[in-house]
């Protein structure tokens, strides 16, 4: 399953992986990364005899598996191929989704603050206009002030 766009996964100590001894993907076993490197990893895997080390394992999709078959000579160095375990893949997928949701919620919260500020600004403007309209329609009453009752005005004659 080699790919021209192969990207080596980010690994850390104790990252759970599935690993096979040699270069064939047959009977994968549970393993843990013991030493992550730039393009390979030392892995400790569990079989019937207990925990066993494998050195400089390639990722299952790494194109070097086909271009460097001599690396998998069992007399040279016990090595194998690995891939992230199903649980680790799921964990990474869910972590990425949670981060995306958190970013989205932060944006929604920021938008909510902007909208609340705009609503408050518009509410203040509305109250100011409302007060101005009321002041123009209902003049103050008191001595010497005109009545608020409408008066009939005679048309002017020429």
Q: Is residue 117 in a domain? A: no
- Sequence-ordered list of residues with C-beta below 8 angstroms from that of 28, at least 6 positions apart, any chain: 18, 19, 20, 83
Is residue 155 within a helix (H) or strand (E), and if so which, with residue range? none
pLDDT at 2 over 50: no
pTM assigned to the model: 0.65
Q: Is residue 71 in a domain? A: yes
Looking at the 3D structure of the chain, how many domains does it have? 1
Question: Residue 156's pLDDT is what?
Answer: 58
Q: What are the pLDDT digits (tens) for 17-70?
A: 999 998 889 999 999 999 999 999 999 999 899 999 999 999 999 998 888 777
pLDDT at 1 over 50: no
d(CA 19, CA 29): 5
Q: Is residue 155 in a domain? A: no
- Domain ranges, residue 73: 16-84
- The total number of residues written for the chain in this structure: 158
Helices of type H across 42-140: 64-67, 86-137
Q: Is residue 2 in a domain? A: no
Higher pLDDT, 65 or 98: 98
Q: Is residue 97 in a domain? A: no
Question: Residue 148's pLDDT is what?
Answer: 56
């Amino acid at each position: 399953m080699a790919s021209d766009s192969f990207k080596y996964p980010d690994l850390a100590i104790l990252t759970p992986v599935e690993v096979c001894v040699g270069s064939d993907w047959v009977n994968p076993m549970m393993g843990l990364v013991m030493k992550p490197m730039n393009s390979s990893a030392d892995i400790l895997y569990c079989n019937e005899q207990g925990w066993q080390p494998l050195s400089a394992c390639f990722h299952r999709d790494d194109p070097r598996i086909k271009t460097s078959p001599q690396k998998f000579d069992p007399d040279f160095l016990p090595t194998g191929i690995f891939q992230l375990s199903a649980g680790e893949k799921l964990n990474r997928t869910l972590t990425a989704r949670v981060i995306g949701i958190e970013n989205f919620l932060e944006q929604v919260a920021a938008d909510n603050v902007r909208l609340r500020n705009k609503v408050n600004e518009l509410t203040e403007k509305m109250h100011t206009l409302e007060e101005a309209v009321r002041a123009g329609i209902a003049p103050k009453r008191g001595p010497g002030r005109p009545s608020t009752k409408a008066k009939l005005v005679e048309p002017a004659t020429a």
